Structure 1
Amino acid sequence: MKLIVCGGGTGGHIYPAIAIAEYFKNQDSSTEILYIGGKYGIENKVLKNYDYRFETIDIKGFQRKLSIENIKRVFKTTSSMLKMRKILSKEKPDLVIGTGGYVCGPVVYMAALMKIKTAILEQNVFMGMTNKILSKKVDYIFYGFDEALKRYPFDNAIVSGNPVRTLEFNYDKKTAREELNFSSDEKIILSIGGSGGSQSLNDAIKLFVNYAEKNNIRLIHSCGEAYYDELKEEFIDINYDKFELYPYIKNIGKYMQSADIIICSAGASTLSEVSYFGKPIIAVPKAYTAENHQEYNAKMIEDCGAGYCIKEDILNADILANRVQNILFNQDVFEKMSDNSSKLYKGDACKIIYDALI
C-alpha cells in the first residue's frame, strides 16, 4: 500500500499526520509512506527525526485583503497544484490523508480530482477554510470532537478523535514522576504555549511564579524558542527551585502525565493530548488563529466541564491563580474536571481512521 500524508505549519497539524503514518506502518510493514509539507514550515525540522520520505510544495495561506502578495500566492498555489499532479502521477498512492494546514489544499484537492481515495482530519470544533473547501471533495471526513459533527453533519463524516502519539505517551503518573525526579505527593502545574509559544501566557507566568512559590507548587513552563532567551534573562533573579523554564519540551508526554493541571493554548492537538491523560485544563486560546478556531475549542472545554477558558485579552497572573486555586485545592472540582477531560478522548483515533479507510 502507498500512503501520502500531509499537514504543516504547526505541531498540531504535523504530529497527528505522523501518528497516522506510524499506525498504518505498524499494521502493515510494507506500507510505503510519503509525507508532503510546506516549503517553509516547521515540518522541515520535525520530519528530520522520522524515517519518512519527505517532499515539499511552495504554498502559503491567503491574506484577508486584496494585495499584490495575494496575487503572488495565487500563482504559487497554481504551481503547487501542477507539482502535486506530477507527484501523484509518479507515486500512484492508494490513499491521501490531510491533517491540516494550507499545504493540504493542493495535495488533497488534486488527489480528489485524480480519483484517488482521500480523507481529511478536522481537529478543531470550528472548521478552517481549507477543510471547508476540501470537505466537498473528499471521500471521508474525520472529526476530533463531537461538537464539530454537530456543526458540520456531513454524511461521510466520522468522529474519530484526534490522533495522539501513544507510543511516546506511554507513561503512568508514578513512572513519569520518578523518571523526572519529582516526588509523588507534590503539586505540579505544566504550562505550554504551543509550538510557537504565547506572549500573553509568558507575561502572565512572570508573576504567576510568585503564587506557585507561595503554595509550594512545581511550575514547569514551555515558553517557545523565540521567547526563551529574553525570558531567561527576566527570570534570572528568581530563586524558586521548583520553577523550570524551557524553550520547548521534546518528551512532552512524560511531563503531561506528571502534572496535576495543564495550562495550554487551545490547539486541538494539544487539548487532545491533555485529555488523553485526563488532566484538568486551563485553555488560553490564541486570538490570532485562523477563523478564531482556538476560542471555539477552549469554550468547548469549559462547556464540557473539563476546565476553564481564559481569553488572552483578560489573562493575567491573578486570574490564572484564581482558576488554579479553584481546581487544585478543591478535590471535588479536580476529580470532576479530570473525569470530564478523560471523556473528551475518544480512544484510539488512528485505529478508527484506519478501520474506516482500509
Structure 2
Amino acid sequence: MAKIAFTGGGTVGHVSVNLSLIPTAIEQGHQAFYIGSKQGIEREMIESQLPEITYHTISSGKLRRYLSFENIKDVFKVLKGILDARKVLKKERPDALFSKGGFVSVPVVIAAKSLKIPTIIHESDLTPGLANKIALKFAKKIYTTFEDTVKYLPKDKADFVGATVRQDLLHGDKGRGYQLTEFTDQKPVLLVMGGSLGSKKLNEIIRQNLDLLLEKYQVIHLTGKGLLDTSLNNVKGYKQFEFVKDDLTDLLAITHTVISRAGSNAIYEFLTLNIPMLLIPLGLDQSRGDQIDNAKNFESKGYGRMIAEDQLTEHRLIDELKDIEAHRSTIIEAMHGYKESYTKEDLFNKFITDALD
C-alpha cells in the first residue's frame, strides 16, 4: 500500500476532487495526508469534512498576473513555502503527490520534485491556471477535465480523464426536494446559483423579474451568504437559501433548468444530470477568465447558453431562458452524447499507476 500526499487550495474547485479521492485512497488501504495554507478555504473544507486526515500548513504567496509590490513579498513567501513543504514531505515520506492546483500547490510540487516524489496534477478548467502552468514543469503528468485542454499542454504529459462526478449526485431524493421547497411536481423548477459568494447583479435581476419567472417556473434561489431578501419569504413558488450543501442533490433532482456561474465542477454536475443550463461566468474583473472559457465550450457543444456578466440584462435573461426551453430536446440530446470518462475509483487507480510506474 502507498502513502499519498494531497495538495490544492484557494477555491472550492481546487479542493473538491481531493475530497473525493482521499476517501477512495483510504478505502483501498492507502495512507493519506494534506498540505495546504494556514487560512485558506482548503483547510476549512478538509478539517470539517475529513477530520481524520492530518493537515499540514505551509507558507504560501499569491501568484499575480499583474505588476504589484506584493509580488516581491510573495516571492519570499513561496520560497518559505518550498522549505515548509520539504520539511513535511521529508517527515511523512509519501510515495506520490496529487495536486489539484491553486497557488498553495506550487511550493509543494517544487518541493516534491526536489525530493524525487512523483507528482500528478489535475486541471478542471478548459485553460490551465497559472499555478498549474508553473507546477507542470516539476510534475510527471497533468490530468484534464475538458478534452480540448490537452491542446494547451505538452503532449507527453497531458491526459484527458473527463469529469469525476460524485456518485451521490445520481441519487437525489425528489420527494425531499419538494419537501424542502414546498413546491409541487406540476410546474417546472428553475434553480438559480450565483456561486458560493453569490452574485448581487444576478440576484437583483432575478428578483426584478420574479413575477415573470413565476409564470413559467417555480424558483429555487441560492443567493449567497448574507444576500437573502426576507421580504420575499412568503412568495408562493419562490424559495431562497443562502447556501445549500447536503441537500443540493435533492434540489437538483427536481430541477428542470439551471442558471449558474460556470465553475467546471458545477457545470459537469448539471451535464451529468442532463439539466439544460444558462451560464453567467465570472467576468475578467473577478477572475482570469477561466469560467468564460468553460461557458463558451459548453455552449459550443450545445449544452445550454451563456451570457457575459457585463451583458446581463432583464430582457437578455428572459430571452435566453425562452430559447433554452424552445430547444430543450436538442440540448438534452447533446448532453446524452457526453460520457463521464472516469469514476473516482478509476481516477485514483490511474493516478497510482501513473505516479508509481
TM over 0.5: yes
Q: Residues 184 and 173 of structure 1: is their aligned pair in 2 closer, same or farther, counting only changes over 3 Å?
A: farther
Structure 1 residues 344 and 199 mapped into 2: Cα distance closer, same or farther (>3 Å)? Answer: farther
Structure 2 counterpart of 1:155, one-letter code: D
- Deviation of the 1:24 alpha carbon: 2.2
- Answer yes or no: is 1:296 the counterpart of 2:296: no
Taking a change above 3 Å as real, the CA distance of residues 266 and 278 of structure 1, as seen in their structure-2 partners, is same
Whether the 8 Å CA contact 2:233–2:240 is kept in 1: the answer is no
2:10 paired with 1:15: no
Q: Is the 8 A contact 2:124 2:264 kept in 1?
A: yes
State the number of aligned residues: 346
Alignment-derived partner of residue 96 in structure 1: 97
The residue type paired with residue 282 of structure 2 is K
Secondary structure of 2:34's partner? strand
Which of 265, 272, 297 aligns to 2:268? It is: 272
Counterpart Cα distance in 1 of 2:12 and 2:95: 26
Which sections of structure 1, spanning at least 5 residues, go unmatched? none
Q: What is the CA–CA distance in structure 2 between the aligned matches of 1:186 and 1:292, rounded to whole Å?
A: 35
3-state SS of 2:249 partner: helix
In the TM superposition, 1:245-324 aligns within 5 A as 245-251=240-246, 252-287=248-283, 288-324=285-321
Give, as a single letter, the amino acid of the residue that structure 2 aligns with 1:218.
Q
Q: Percent identity?
A: 28
Residue ranges of structure 2 left out of the alignment (5+ in a row): 353-357
Structure 1 residue 326, shift from structure 2 partner: 2.0
- TM-score (structure 1 length as normaliser): 0.89
TM-align CA RMSD:
2.1
Q: For residue 37 of structure 1, what is the aligned residue in structure 2?
A: 36
Change (3 A) 1:58 1:344: farther
After superposition, the Cα gap between the structure-2 partners of 1:9 and 1:341, relative to the gap in structure 1 and judged at 3 Å, is farther
Residues 32 and 221 of structure 1: CA distance in aligned 2, closer, same or farther (over 3 Å): same
- Report the equivalent of 2:144: 143
Moved more, 275-284 or 77-86: 275-284
| Residue 71 of structure 1: aligned partner | 72
| 1:59 and 2:60 aligned | yes
Say whether residues 1:336 and 2:330 are aligned partners: yes
Distance in 2 between residues matched to 1:140 and 1:289, nearest whole Å: 29
Given that 2:258 and 2:278 are in contact with CA atoms closer than 8 Å, whether structure 1 keeps it comes out as: yes
Contact kept, 8 Å, 1:13 with 1:269, in 2: the verdict is no
Distance 1:122 1:342, change over 3 A: farther
Task: Give the match for residue 50 of structure 1.
Answer: 50
Do the aligned partners of 2:59 and 2:84 also contact (CA within 8 Å) in 1? no
Bigger Cα displacement from structure 2, 261-270 vs 343-352:
343-352
**Do the aligned partners of 1:4 and 1:93 also contact (CA within 8 Å) in 2?**
yes
Tell me, yes or no, if structure 1 residue 356 matches structure 2 residue 356: no
Question: Structure 1 80/345 Cα, relative in aligned 2: closer, same or farther at 3 Å?
Answer: farther
> 1:288-338: CA deviations, max 9, x gaps?
35431111100001100000111000112321111112223x3xx212212
**CA 177–108 in structure 1, closer or farther in 2 if over 3 Å, else same:** same
Opposite residue 324 of structure 2, the aligned amino acid is I
Residue 325 of structure 1 is matched in structure 2 by: 322
Whole-Å Cα distance in 2 between the matches of residues 195 and 58 of structure 1? Answer: 25
**Residues 154-208 of structure 1, C-alpha deviations (whole Å, 9 max, x = no match):** 22321112322223x2425745545545433320011111222223322322223
Residue 241 and residue 121 in structure 1: after superposition, are their counterparts in 2 closer, same or farther (change >3 A)?
A: same
Distance 1:290 1:128, change over 3 A: farther
Measure how far apart 1:342 and its partner are: 4.5
Partner of 2:185: 184
Q: Which residue in 2 is equivalent to 1:81?
A: 82
* 1: CA distance, partners of 2:300 / 2:170: 29
Q: Equivalents in 2 of 1:21, 1:49: separation in Å?
A: 11
* Distance of 1:185 and 1:113 partners within structure 2: 61
Q: Is the 8 A contact 1:279 1:342 kept in 2?
A: no
Q: CA deviation at 1:345?
A: 5.0
